[in-house]
Amino acid sequence: METILEALLNLTTENEVVEFKEAKNQYDKDKLGKYFSALSNEANLKGKQQSWLVFGVKNDKTIVGTTISDSQLNEYKSEIGQHTAPRCNFINSHRVLKNGKTVLLLEIPAAPKGMPISWKGFNYGRDGESLVALNSEEYDRIRVQANASDWSAQIIPSATINDLSEEAIKQARIRFTQKNPNLKSEIEKWSNEVFLNKAKITIKGKITNAAIILLGNPESEHFINPATSKITWILKDSDNIEKDYEHFTCPLLLNIEKVYGKIRNLKYRYITDDTLFPEEVDQYDPYIIREALNNCIAHQDYTLGGKIIVVENENATLTFANSGSFIPQSIETVIQSDSPESNYRNKFLADSMVNLNMIDTIGSGIKKMFNIQRKKYFPLPDYDFSNSKVKVAITGKVVDVNYARKIAQMPDLSLEEIILLDKVAKNKSLNDEEIKMLKSKKLIEGRKPNFHISSKVAVATNQKDDYIKMRGLKDEHYKKMILEYLEKYKSASKDDIDKLILELLPNILILDKKKNKLRNIMYAMSKKDNTIKNTGTNRNPKWIKV
């Protein structure tokens, strides 16, 4: 380790795989996570097994030493493990005595082939010694590495066709025939062995991991251990308390129908525009259920050993979750491209599912899910990519029918714009490109991160009152109210001013930010405008008009 440290210190500058930090007694966990993501991804791109984050050394190579303890280091490791995807951590940490001071070397592993390391859902990289976003070209370079190793195509030497379900093979034949009706007479003549090869479920008669997942007997799941082929359905009441559950294993080709049958897809009625008669629809469109469920099977990262979770909540939400990162990076990318993914985590499994008419590869499935929800005035699908999982929540009811109708009836809004406005309504963060696009079309107003719908959208959706509440009034209006109060009542305490102004401040602001804004207004009035003064104390002010 002394030799390695000496070599690092002899570098002309920091680079993509080496970072020095002073970190005398502590280091910010969020910054640490960003550097972990960046250094891990850069090590992959540079063909290195690891990169180095060195604590106790300044950027100019001055040794200052660090007192970060093992318990602190364990806290850092816990934080890294929780918020990286796929979950990752330091290979080793090494303490080296240099010039009488302790230097801590953190050995960061290279990102696995095909899987960039993200921190809190965002992929970081390095431009020389600077921390930056991992650009699309670098992201794709890591992703394509997955093509060299497809877990779903791996052959299980000890498994035979007898380990597959006869009933599942029969259903697979039916589905394959539906997909290829022109081959019906030929398919009927094929033996099971020939059919499985033709459908690309087996390879030259050898049983693959994909074959076990889709067609395997329940007792055959052990062949793919430590991976699992399980779907768990859970029913929760409106208080999020579990009421019922059931586990389903292979053959998933058959058992996805059993999962579908467990979901209580009630009818939902509501009044649409220009009619006195109620519209009746399924809470959850059957296409959305099957698309979400089949996507979980096709894109699950089976090497992580997790299972697929389907949670049905009586508050009219349905959540699907599978292990692994979201390969296209963002939902917006999928919607905008509206084309097939160029890379798949489980290409062999995905191709098998295409051949069995379970999924398609034209890239329109997710976009169709969004359009179905949009046309029903239901909230759009809500995706979450944190904690090395892909989760999508489907809401089976109208949350705000008036707003939903009016947004849907703005003909100039694209689906992509509606998705972003949906993020604004849910107080989700927007990236710089999304902000620029929405502002250029005058769809949002405000400052990052506190955005709200613009006056243009407010007028179109008849939400002018909500717009004013979200945007707030000009500071001069609040100042005038305070002066009128002091004119009438002669003086005011902090509580008096809070009661007068706080609830009128923009709804987009949380309480702490409202209080901060009010403090700034009072400061401006007393120090700059000289219209009021404090005759009390800083802790218990008593404001009067000058």
pLDDT value at residue 96: 93
Q: Is the pLDDT of residue 401 over 70?
A: no
Closest CA to 458 of 439, 448, 443, 437: 443
Lowest mean pLDDT among 433-437, 449-453, 508-512: 449-453
Provide, rounded to the nearest whole percent, the portion of the chain with pLDDT above 90. Answer: 49
Q: What φ, ψ does residue 282 adopt, rounded to 5°?
A: -70, 140
DSSP lists the bridge partners of residue 534 as 543
Over residues 314-336, the mean pLDDT reads 82
SS3 390: strand
CA 375 to chain centre: 24
Q: For domain 2-145, say whether CATH 3.30.950.30 is its number.
A: yes
Rounded mean pLDDT of the chain? 85
470-514 pLDDT per residue, tens? 444 567 878 988 998 898 889 999 999 998 888 777 655 678 878
SS3 431: coil
pLDDT value at residue 497: 92
Q: Is the pLDDT of residue 466 over 50?
A: no
Over residues 375-387, the mean pLDDT reads 83
CA 461 to chain centre: 29
Q: What φ, ψ does residue 451 adopt, rounded to 5°?
A: -100, 155
Q: Is the pLDDT of residue 389 over 80?
A: yes
- Tokens linked to 310: 């389907």
Those residues with Cβ within 8 angstroms of residue 394's Cβ, 6 or more apart along the chain or in another chain: 284, 288, 289, 292, 317, 318, 319, 320, 369, 373, 381
pLDDT value at residue 403: 54
Q: Is the pLDDT of residue 453 over 90?
A: no
pLDDT value at residue 324: 86
Over residues 423-442, the mean pLDDT reads 75
Closest CA to 462 of 410, 518, 418, 532: 410
Query: pLDDT-based confidence at 387, cuts 50/70/90?
Result: confident
Q: 502, 482 in Cβ contact below 8 A?
A: no
Query: Does this chain's domain 2-145 share its CATH topology with 231-397?
Result: no
Indicate the length of the chain as a whole number.
546
pLDDT value at residue 352: 95
184-241 pLDDT per residue, tens? 999 999 999 999 999 999 999 999 999 999 999 999 999 999 899 999 999 999 888 9
Query: pLDDT-based confidence at 417, cuts 50/70/90?
Result: confident
Closest CA to 175 of 299, 355, 374: 355
Strand segments, DSSP code E, in 187-316 are 231-236, 242-248, 267-271, 278-282, 308-313
Q: Is the pLDDT of residue 320 over 70?
A: yes
What is the 3-class SS of 90-155, one letter each residue? CCEEEEEEECCEEEEEEEEECCCCCCCCEECCEEEEEECCEEEECCHHHHHHHHHHHHHCCHHHCE
Q: What is the DSSP letter of 201?
A: S
How far is the C-alpha of 502 from the C-alpha of 508, rounded, in Å? 12
Q: For domain 231-397, say whether CATH 3.30.565.60 is its number.
A: yes
Over residues 350-371, the mean pLDDT reads 84
Domain ranges of the chain: 2-145, 152-224, 231-397, 421-471, 475-545
Q: 310, 319 in Cβ contact below 8 A?
A: yes
pLDDT value at residue 411: 57
Q: What is the DSSP letter of 237?
A: -
Closest CA to 169 of 135, 204, 128, 197: 197
Q: Which residue has the higher pLDDT, 193 or 463?
A: 193
Q: Is the pLDDT of residue 404 over 60?
A: no
Those residues with Cβ within 8 angstroms of residue 60's Cβ, 6 or more apart along the chain or in another chain: none
Helices (H), 263-399: 286-299, 331-337, 347-355, 365-375
pLDDT value at residue 366: 86
Those residues with Cβ within 8 angstroms of residue 428's Cβ, 6 or more apart along the chain or in another chain: none
pTM over 0.85: no
pLDDT value at residue 359: 86
